[in-house]
Amino acid sequence: MTTTFTGTRASRGTRRRRPYRTAVPFLAQLAVWAGAAGVLVLWWSDTTSVVGPAGWLTGAGRITGLLAGYACAVLLALMARVPLLDHTVGTDRLARWHAWGGRCTVSLALAHTLLIIWGYSLTSHADVVSQTTTLVLHYPDLLKGTAGFLLFLATGVLSARAARRRLSYETWHHLHFATYLAVFLAFGHQLSNGADFVGNTSAQAAWYALFLGVAALLAWYRFAVPLRRGLRHRLRVAAVRPEAPGVVSVHLTGEHLDELGGLPGQFLRWRFLTRGLWWTANPYSLSAPAHPNHLRITVKAAGGHSAALALLAPGTRVWAEGPYGGFTANRRTSPKVLLLAGGVGITPLRTLFETLPGQVTLVYRARRPDDLALRGELDAIAAHRRATVHYVVDEPAAHSSPLTARGLTTLVPDLAAHDVYLCGPPGMARAAIQALREAGVPARRIHHESFAF
């Protein structure tokens, strides 16, 4: 099923990628690695010599402990929702950095624990069990540090892919708040017992500055800003309308919504202040360009929270955090753009379809024709800008097209010359990225946010 409107409206120009949008991700990584190097310098400057197996083990334990503590601060900073990072690096990329860093941090903390126990047991000529008991019960703040380590380890295990699939988004999200407590419990142990900090006021001041700075970012962007915006914008549910089987649009009204600054392609975290929903904030994309008095999201029932949105009563109060994400026109580098949507992944692409300048083609994939949400709007936008929409469904087979390089180039012959904005289920996204690369689309022109965080 293809809706074609011949001709293309006059291009309003191609937005060049702003230099800082490519520089910020590099500078962010550089800052992280520079900080890790600084931690190693701290250990080196405080270590006169390393002698024998006990010395090597204890030294390695000190290094891994310092790096684990520094990594905790980095992990929290990555998820502080700082707009500069979020809008340039992208929320999903930050989440991937956070997940990778979390695995490293848990490994470093575990290595620190084992190496210190082993090194100290060799030094004191004690067995591992008695040495562990001595450390935990008789060293200052180490009992709290042990509780923090176990809590951090449990969070890491529950975040593993196999365990993550068995947890709802809401449960997984709230379990992550345990990391705040874990870091708090472990912080005092480092300053009380760390050989690099005891008696070193400069190192202590730097460590306090690092963690207090991260705490300030978290307090401001995770709590103060959402609270202020909730009171300022006074969002309420205006109506809930069905769009497709299991898909509804939630229309919201409020005050001063133009101040939110939401760009097409971005999402917000929505907290609906009603029974069963108030305690969690879930990410949903705007499915229409933001209006000073009106916002809209379109949601597919994929869990308890999203399914409950169909039952929202008009007048329900709403708090919105954001906007977040770098899935915007600022990523564009070519005058030709392909929007490739799968299922409810159409929501951020629908706003881009309306607002992106130049030649834009939309390919929208779904299981059945009835599952094509917002189709009337898409056809109207295509007619207005004289663009092409390809609707690809699995059933009936006559309207199916394989998600392969050949299938995509059949729909978009000069595909390699396009920027591609991609949004859909994980399996579809992986297949699409592989097909796009095989069709000659450079990786830098494939723009994708998974929204799986």
Q: In the structure, what pLDDT confidence band is assigned to residue 154 with cuts at 50, 70 and 90?
A: confident
pTM above 0.95, yes or no: no
Q: In the structure, what pLDDT confidence band is assigned to residue 172 with cuts at 50, 70 and 90?
A: low
- Output 403 or 194, whichever has higher pLDDT: 403
pLDDT in the model for residue 161 = 65
Assess contact for 410 and 416: CB atoms under 8 A. no
Q: In the structure, what pLDDT confidence band is assigned to residue 179 with cuts at 50, 70 and 90?
A: confident
Mean pLDDT, to the nearest integer, of 432-450? 90
pLDDT in the model for residue 169 = 64
**Weakest mean pLDDT among 15-24, 290-299, 315-324, 423-432:** 15-24
Assess contact for 363 and 345: CB atoms under 8 A. no
132: amino acid identity, one letter: T
Mean pLDDT, to the nearest integer, of 423-451? 89
Assess contact for 267 and 275: CB atoms under 8 A. no
**What's the chain's average pLDDT?**
86
Mean pLDDT, to the nearest integer, of 363-371? 91
Mean pLDDT, to the nearest integer, of 278-287? 87
| Res. 1: pLDDT tops 70 | no
pLDDT in the model for residue 452 = 56
pLDDT in the model for residue 52 = 87
55: amino acid identity, one letter: G
Q: In the structure, what pLDDT confidence band is assigned to residue 36 with cuts at 50, 70 and 90?
A: very high
Q: What percent of the chain has pLDDT over 70?
A: 90
Residue 321, judged by CB atoms within 10 A of its CB (0-12, 13-18, 19+), counts as buried
Q: In the structure, what pLDDT confidence band is assigned to residue 64 with cuts at 50, 70 and 90?
A: very high
- Output 155 or 265, whichever has higher pLDDT: 265
Assess contact for 24 and 89: CB atoms under 8 A. yes
Phi, psi at 347, each rounded to 5°? -60, -55
pLDDT per position as a tens digit, 373-429 = 999 999 999 999 889 999 998 887 666 778 899 999 999 999 999 999 999 988 899
Mean pLDDT, to the nearest integer, of 193-218? 89
CA distances (Å), 31 to each of 34, 90, 244, 252, 344, in order?
Answer: 5, 17, 46, 40, 37
Phi, psi at 384, each rounded to 5°? -65, -40
| Res. 159: pLDDT tops 80 | no
